[in-house]
Amino acid sequence: MAAHAMTHDADHELFRQTVKKFCVREIAPHAGEWEAAHGYPKELFGKAGELGMFGARVDPEWGGAGMDWWASAAMYDAMRFTDLPSLNLGWMVQADLTVPVIDKYGTREQKEEFLRGAVSGERVAALAISEPGCGSDVAAMTTTARMDGGDWVIRGQKLWITNGAIADFLVLAVRTSEDRHHGISVVLFPTDTPGFKVSRKIAKVGNVASDTAHLFFDDCRIPGRNLLGERGRGFQAIMDNFRGERLATSLLVLGLMDRAMELAVEYAKERKAFGRTLMENQVWRHRFAEHRAAVESARWLTYHALDVLNHGGRAVKEIAMAKLYVCDLAQKVSYDCAQVFGGFGYTEEYVVGRLWRDLRLYSVGAGTAEIMKEIIAKEEGYLRPSGRS
């Protein structure tokens, strides 16, 4: 348990054990069935909410546990036992992509209406930023919100929205003026608003039980009071929130890598070929030893970023480095973990194949590897003329 030394506080440990028990008992036994069905029951959000999984860092006034980022680290570590990475993704969107934005920028009325239900899991939330022509380039968004008689009237579309088809409301980024960066705002959008349509669930190569939706807004009218934060300050709010999103992604991916390693090591100890276990071949135990060392270095890079953020630091570079390194490493580790299973690793019968294909997402989702490198380069001042610091 040395790897978790920094997270060892009695409350964190209790939280880890509670989440683990829930995942082992109530999720993992159904993981294969839900994966095959390309979906899981929405009620699971309510159960996870009851355990405090969506409000670990939220003030108890709104139903949260008022803990810190180490509690989130313990939670993502324990979530590896779902054996259903699609669900980890959906829960992460709720816990760390939507709840924190409302917590940080919401008025008391907005918290009462949206935050409380999201923390309890009674209301599922989605974060809607990306569009067909706007992914890495967030400021290129074209979905508009115009004021009309005290209401916002929203027109446009959003693509790739996790939880989009099951969400009760969206944390929705919209364009409120032409100004590229200062013309973006965020609104809270109930999905029962007339004119809103989920046009399709996107068929993906992995995370197939997570719904990823294409959403359309045809002159949807919501009250003016649903503006979250200041008008025109949405771009800054989104960038600010990306830090938590990317840290949570790194923690989630670390957990899934650990899971792939656990499964692969167990298998290599059992499976025999040519009269000996696979692990008795030096090539495999060395490969696992190398990966273990790399996973631990990824963990401490992530924990360092977490620690900086936890202490109120900017942590922009630290988080970009963690997200880049962890998600890149996950590609190699999950590939080798599936490889040791031979043909079985390429079937739906074994969880390791699911981990391999689902982890592929994380070089793209929550900011691509190339964008992480751009952030690190910018923070390091690589394009600044030499001689100036």
Ligand X SMILES: Cc1cc2nc3c(=O)[nH]c(=O)nc-3n(C[C@H](O)[C@H](O)[C@H](O)COP(=O)(O)OP(=O)(O)OC[C@H]3O[C@@H](n4cnc5c(N)ncnc54)[C@H](O)[C@@H]3O)c2cc1C
Binding positions for ligand X, 84-113, rule CB under 6 A: 93
CB 375 within 8 A of CB 343: no
> Which residue do the tokens 């002159």 mark?
219
Instruction: Select from 17-25, 46-54, 124-132, 260-268 the region that touches ligand X (CB under 6 A).
Output: 124-132
Instruction: Select from 12-20, 62-70, 178-186, 204-212 the region that touches ligand X (CB under 6 A).
Output: 204-212
Binding positions for ligand X, 132-191, rule CB under 6 A: 135-136, 160-162
Neighbours of 289 (CB within 10 A): 11
Out of 72, 82, 157, 212, point to the residue binding ligand X (CB under 6 A). Answer: 212
Q: Is 39 an interacting residue with respect to ligand X (CB under 6 A)?
A: no
Q: Is 364 an interacting residue with respect to ligand X (CB under 6 A)?
A: yes
Out of 128, 209, 257, 329, point to the residue binding ligand X (CB under 6 A). Answer: 128
Query: Please, which residue, 19 or 371, has the CB nearer to ligand X?
Result: 371
> How far apart (Å, rounded) are the C-alpha atoms in residues 319 and 315?
6
Q: Is 198 an interacting residue with respect to ligand X (CB under 6 A)?
A: no
Strand pairing class (227-228; 125-128): unpaired
Rounded to 5 degrees, φ, ψ at 215 are -115, 140
Q: Is 241 an interacting residue with respect to ligand X (CB under 6 A)?
A: no
Catalytic, out of 35, 131, 245, 318? 245
> Which residue do the tokens 């690190």 mark?
376
Q: Of 84, 108, 93, 65, which Cα lies nearest the Cα of 24?
A: 84
Q: Which residues contact 82 (CB under 8 A, 6 or more apart)?
A: 23, 27, 28, 31, 88
Q: Of 114, 99, 120, which Cα lies nearest the Cα of 50?
A: 120
3-state secondary structure of 283: helix
Query: How far out from the chain centre does Cα 275 lie?
Result: 43
Binding positions for ligand X, 8-27, rule CB under 6 A: none
Q: In the bound complex, what is the minimum distance in angstroms from residue 17's beta carbon to ligand X? A: 29
Rounded to 5 degrees, φ, ψ at 272 are -110, 145
To the query of whether residue 61 is one of the catalytic residues in this protein, the response is no
Q: In the bound complex, what is the minimum distance in angstroms from residue 239's beta carbon to ligand X? A: 13
Out of 101, 127, 252, 263, point to the residue binding ligand X (CB under 6 A). Answer: 127
Out of 266, 296, 349, 370, point to the residue binding ligand X (CB under 6 A). Answer: 370
Provide the annotated active-site residues.
Answer: 245
> In the complex, which residues of this chain contact ligand X (CB under 6 A)?
93, 126-130, 135-136, 160-162, 204, 207, 212, 361, 364-365, 368, 370-371, 374
